[in-house]
A and B are shown apart, each in its own frame.
Chain A
Amino acid sequence: MEFTFLFSQFMSGLTYGLMLFLVASGLSLIFGVMNILNFAHATLWLIGAYICFTFWSLMEAYQFALWVSIPLAALATAAFGWVCEVVLIKRIYKRELHEQLLITYAMALIFGDLIKIIWGPTDRLIVRPSIIQKPLHLFGAPIDSYFIFVILIGFAVAVGLWWFLKYTKYGHIVKAAVFSREMVGALGIPIPKIYTWVFTLGIFIAGLAGGVQSAIGSVTLGMDTNIIIQAFCVVVIGGFGSLMGTLVGSLIVGEVFSFAILYWPDGAMVLIFVITAAILIIRPWGLFGTPLRA
């Protein structure tokens, strides 16, 4: 294997890993704060991708169409997520684990079909603006120039979330809520409001990720099922509620997948599940998580 080949494989693994990070960070945030495992997270990500396609097709003639569509898609998806939270998720805060799982699982089923009804079964493809049509040459290896953009967005979101959690008042509240919701509530902070905005923030990131994804390849039905399972693996490996863990977990899954598929294509997914299961057995709270509540 020559270096350039391995390098381009590494870059595509990095891109894939950061895309997973964008999906998994919202999933992990929502679980950490609200203790709700959102099965519908990747379906909302896919909705973001389709919404981005729709915005793009409205402005198809312009070069800037894609760059405007991505933030618009993120906002639209976040608005939809906000509605879901207020209408449905609010009712199940105090319910048992299986009831919460069934509700978000039902949401995934419903949204999957809504996508089919609204956008139909045909694949959707965004024609990229000319600036990212040609590959970039890094160390002699041809790299898809859009990958650079995806990687930058991924790291930007990671830094943004880190800054939000570390330096803002609301970030501190969110971090406190991960640690002990009861205490935060006792301090007079309206927990339901925090929940609503944490959920909306998580879905915003998912929508953003969907928008970014829509220009990587064609957008197809059922893309979400693989991503949700891998995002679960990521948060299990990294640890629920840990931002650093989610980032490291995504990079592990992305790179392992990207290289395993070279040497043992059939076993790439199996390998990821083996890693996930091993982490769950040895450290159920993940690499960077802390063993808090069961």
Chain B
Amino acid sequence: MEKKNNLFKKHMLPLVLFVIALILPLVVPEFWVHVFNEILILGLFAAAFNLIFGYMGQLSFGQAAYYGIGAYTTGLLMVKLQWPLFLCLPFSMITAGIGALILGYFCVKLRGIYFAILTMAFGQLVFFIIFQWYSFTGGDNGLQGINPPLWLFKANAYYYFSLTVVTIGMVLLYFITESPFGYTLKAIRDNTERTEFIGINVQRYMLINFVISGMFCGLAGALWGPFNRSVAPDLCSWQHSGHPVFMAVMGGPYHFLGPMIGSVIFTFLNAFVTGFTEYWPLVSGVVMILVVLLMPGGLLGIIKSKGYFSPGNVGDVKNER
């Protein structure tokens, strides 16, 4: 009985969130449906990023590259070859995964600040290639007219489509993090040397994880194109790579749902603030400083430490900070 109770407690937060996500679009105006859609897509992006950050303990400042590769794959396939959307999504995951495999091969040789800078340098490399390759990517004009199929044209329809894809993605990510593979990542995060000593090929695990993260970033990016009806090179810029970092830190990087919660706060704030001022960077910067100074461990970290409930714990070592 107690075990069952625990199970319920453990899955309460995601279930409640899912039910809210199902009902809300029916009762709010269309503008907010778009905002919710953005929350879902960016939340998946942040959760995929967190595989490297919260679970593996390395800071990637270039995940927008794989998000952008996914977005451009879907955009190009739909605009130039008229592929159906449901085929574009898995294909975008593959291209983003290949990108992550090639660039990640070099990144996982480094740690700490050097890892962060190399991921950022590669992110900028992808950005400039997309930015300059006019004939293929449209350069700084981006790609327009990425229209979803007719039955997904309405805001609500595309929202439920996103919800389905993001939910599947999040469930897959959850199973990955709860698998022996996920636990190995946490071991690498908490003590890389000791993990190496028990015979685990740390670099290979990090590379596999980098590729998985890149694939899900690509999936999130692939959802973005048809949602926004266009893609632009800004999707790959280093400023865009900063968003998942901020979301994960705000929500709590050491909880599975932390990045998604961070996306809820960040995207809502964005929609709200840009409604009456153009100084969104200023506001987001101030919020970022307050979050880092006042709530280390993120929102879920604070709730957890007060002992209200257990929101899908990632690992215990870092929580004790």
Q: A residues near B, CB below 8 A?
A: 37, 88, 91-92, 95, 97-99, 101-103, 105-110, 112-114, 116-117, 225, 229, 232-233, 236, 266-267, 269-270, 273-274, 276-277, 280-281, 284, 294
Contact = CB atoms under 8 A, between A and B. Distances in A.
Given A97-B112, A269-B128, A105 B121 contact: no
B292 A281 contact: no
Contacts of B116: 37, 97, 101
A106 B293 CA distance: 12
A105 B282 CA distance: 11
B288 A105 contact: yes
B121 A98 contact: no
A112 B242 CA distance: 16
B246 interface: yes
B61 interface: yes
Contact of B125 (A88, A274, A281): A274
Nearest to A113: B282
Contact of A107 (B110, B133, B285, B293): B285
- State the majority secondary structure of interface residues on B: helix
Contacts, number: 111
A99 B282 contact: no
Interface residues of B, number: 39
30 contacts: A37-B117, A91-B293, A92-B293, A95-B296, A98-B59, A99-B249, A101-B59, A102-B242, A102-B246, A102-B249, A102-B288, A106-B284, A106-B285, A106-B292, A109-B285, A110-B281, A110-B282, A110-B289, A112-B281, A113-B282, A117-B279, A236-B117, A270-B125, A270-B132, A273-B122, A274-B125, A277-B118, A277-B122, A281-B106, A281-B109
A232 B285 contact: no
Contacts of A91: 293
B303 interface: no
A121 to B, nearest CB: 10
Contacts of B117: 37, 232, 236, 280
B124 to A, nearest CB: 6
Contacts of A229: 124, 238
Interface of B: 53, 59, 61, 106, 109-114, 116-118, 120-122, 124-125, 128-129, 132-133, 238-239, 242, 245-246, 249, 279, 281-282, 284-286, 288-289, 292-293, 296
Contacts of A105: 242, 285, 288
Contacts of B293: 91-92, 103
A107 B242 CA distance: 13
Given A109-B282, A109-B284, A284 B292 contact: no
- State the majority secondary structure of interface residues on A: helix
Nearest to B238: A229
Contacts of A97: 59, 112-113, 116
Contact of B292 (A99, A109, A273, A276): A99
Contact of A276 (B110, B121, B133, B246): B121
